[in-house]
Structure 1
Amino acid sequence: MFILQGFFTLPNFSPFSPSPDSDEQPATQTYHERKIFPYGRKDLYNLVADVGSYHSFVPYCTGSRILEQRMGQNGVVTMDVELMVGFFALKESYVSRVTCRPYESVQAEASTSTPLFKTLQTTWRFQPASSTSPHLSSGPPLHGDAGNSVAVASHSPDAGPTLVTLDIAFAFENPLHSALSAKFFGKVSTLMVQAFEERCLAVYGSGTK
Structure 2
Amino acid sequence: MTNNKTQLLLKALLDVSEAHSAKVLRGNSKRGNIRHLGSCGALAARRASLPLCQTIPTITPSRSFINLVIPTSTRRMEYTEQRTLGYTLEQMYSIVADVDQYQEFVPWCKKSRVLKGPNGNLKGELEIGFPPVLERYVSDVTCIPNHQIRAVCTDGSLFSHLETVWRFAPGSKNLPESCKVDFYVCFEFRSLLHTQLAGVFFDEVVKQMVGAFESRAATLYGSQQGAPLRRQST
TM-score bracket for the superposition, by shorter chain length? 0.5 to 0.7
Runs of 4+ in 1 over 6 A off after TM superposition: none
Compute the TM-score of the two structures, normalised by the length of structure 1. 0.67
Given the alignment, which residue of 25, 37, 41 partners 2:85?
37
Residues 89/111 of structure 1: CA separation in 2 closer, same or farther (3 Å cut):
same
> Secondary structure of the equivalent of 2:156?
coil
For residues 160-171 of structure 1, the aligned pairs below 5 Å read: 160-171=177-188
For residues 80-119 of structure 1, the aligned pairs below 5 Å read: 80-87=123-130, 90-114=133-157, 116-119=158-161
**Shift in Å, 1:118:** 1.1
Matched, 1:25 2:49: no
Residues 90/187 of structure 1: CA separation in 2 closer, same or farther (3 Å cut):
closer
User: Which consecutive residues of structure 1, in runs of 5 or more, have no partner in the other structure?
Assistant: 1-12, 72-76, 134-158
Aligned equivalents of 1:193, 1:132: Cα separation in 2: 23
For residues 184-195 of structure 1, the aligned pairs below 5 Å read: 184-195=201-212
- What is aligned with 2:172? 130
- What is aligned with 1:4? none
The total of aligned residue pairs comes to 162
Aligned equivalents of 2:193, 2:133: Cα separation in 1: 20
Aligned equivalents of 1:97, 1:205: Cα separation in 2: 31
Residues 38/186 of structure 1: CA separation in 2 closer, same or farther (3 Å cut):
same
> Secondary structure of the equivalent of 2:212?
helix
- Structure number with higher helix proportion: 2
Residues 70/165 of structure 1: CA separation in 2 closer, same or farther (3 Å cut):
farther
- What is aligned with 1:55? 103
> Secondary structure of the equivalent of 1:187?
helix
Compute the TM-score of the two structures, normalised by the length of structure 2. 0.60
Aligned equivalents of 2:72, 2:206: Cα separation in 1: 23
Residues 185/55 of structure 1: CA separation in 2 closer, same or farther (3 Å cut):
closer
User: Which consecutive residues of structure 2, in runs of 5 or more, have no partner in the other structure?
Assistant: 1-63, 227-234
- What is aligned with 1:142? none
Residues 132/175 of structure 1: CA separation in 2 closer, same or farther (3 Å cut):
farther
**Shift in Å, 1:177:** 5.4
**Shift in Å, 1:63:** 1.4
State which structure, 1 or 2, has the greater radius of gyration over its C-alpha atoms.
Answer: 2
Q: CA RMSD in A?
A: 2.8
**Shift in Å, 1:70:** 7.7
Q: What percentage of residue pairs aligned between the two structures are identical? A: 35
